[in-house]
């Protein structure tokens, strides 16, 4: 799913862990649950609009991605203090796969195109495995534009949940 969705889930996880658990378990379980949440929510992402490839000719795709990147950035700014720890671990799967491993692989393949270095180091195959085992029954809607509505509803539900848990009161 999109970064903002992972961030909001992370905020809820950190609030719950820090309300229900004592040190150091609050920290430990925030990290563990945040990490797992990425895998679960990415596995669920088949019900939302998630084209595997960039669609630069499609205006809808472009507008949606500008919007979702903007609100994702906003969510990082708003929740960074005090939720950075949970947000970091809820995105570490993407930070590693897309922003670390892939660029390194690209560089290596420029020199040796047949290089298989790093192929086994990706986290996202775990997502595919979880999806096949647990969520195989979900309708696949990754090319359906209406799928953005599902992601927007999930985002709104989590914003409400954060409000309900008092998560905004730390911020101001
Ligand atoms: Zn991901």
112-161 pLDDT tens trace? 999 889 999 999 999 999 999 999 999 999 999 999 999 999 999 999 99
Q: Where are the domains of the chain?
A: 3-89+122-164
Higher per-residue confidence, 154 vs 169: 154
Ligand 1 centroid to residue 55 C-alpha, Å? 18
pLDDT (0 to 100) of residue 105: 94
- Report pLDDT digits (tens) over 69-79: 999 999 999 99
Ligand 1 centroid to residue 85 C-alpha, Å? 17
Name the token pair of 112: 């040796």
| Burial of residue 155 (number of CB atoms within 10 Å: 0-12, 13-18, 19+) | buried
| Burial of residue 157 (number of CB atoms within 10 Å: 0-12, 13-18, 19+) | exposed
Place of tokens 């991605």: 65
Q: Measure the CA–CA gap between 42 and 141, rounded to whole angstroms.
A: 13
Higher per-residue confidence, 171 vs 155: 155
Ligand 1 centroid to residue 26 C-alpha, Å? 24
Name the token pair of 39: 């895998």
- Mean pLDDT, the chain, rounded, equals 95
Q: Measure the CA–CA gap between 84 and 94, rounded to whole angstroms.
A: 15
Ligand 1 centroid to residue 95 C-alpha, Å? 9
Q: Chain centroid to CA 104: how far?
A: 21
pLDDT (0 to 100) of residue 172: 65
Name the token pair of 90: 């809820």
pLDDT (0 to 100) of residue 14: 97
Ligand 1 centroid to residue 4 C-alpha, Å? 12
Ligand 1 centroid to residue 13 C-alpha, Å? 17
Give buried/exposed letters for 48-86 (b at 16+ CB in 10 A, else e): bbbeeeeeeeeeebeebbeebeebbeebbeebeeebebb
Ligand 1 centroid to residue 65 C-alpha, Å? 15
pLDDT (0 to 100) of residue 169: 84
Q: Count the helix, strand and coil residues of the chain and give each as a percent rounded to the nearest 5.
A: 75, 0, 25
pTM for the complete prediction?
Answer: 0.93
As a whole number, mean pLDDT of residues 68-97 equals 97
């Amino acid at each position: 799913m999109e970064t903002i969705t992972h961030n909001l889930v992370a905020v809820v996880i950190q609030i719950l862990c820090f309300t229900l658990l004592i040190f150091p378990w609050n920290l430990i379980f925030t990290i563990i649950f945040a990490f797992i949440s990425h895998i679960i929510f990415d596995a669920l992402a088949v019900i939302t609009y998630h084209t595997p490839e960039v669609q630069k000719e499609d205006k809808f795709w472009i507008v949606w991605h500008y919007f979702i990147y903007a609100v994702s950035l906003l969510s990082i700014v708003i929740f960074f203090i005090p939720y950075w720890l949970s947000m970091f671990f809820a995105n570490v799967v993407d930070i590693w796969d897309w922003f670390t491993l892939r660029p390194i692989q690209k560089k290596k393949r420029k020199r040796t195109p047949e290089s298989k270095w790093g192929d086994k180091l990706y986290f996202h195959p775990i997502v595919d495995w979880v999806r096949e085992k647990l969520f195989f029954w979900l309708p696949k809607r990754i090319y359906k534009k209406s799928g953005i509505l599902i992601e927007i509803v999930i985002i709104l539900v989590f914003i409400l949940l954060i409000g309900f848990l008092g998560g905004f009161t730390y911020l101001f």
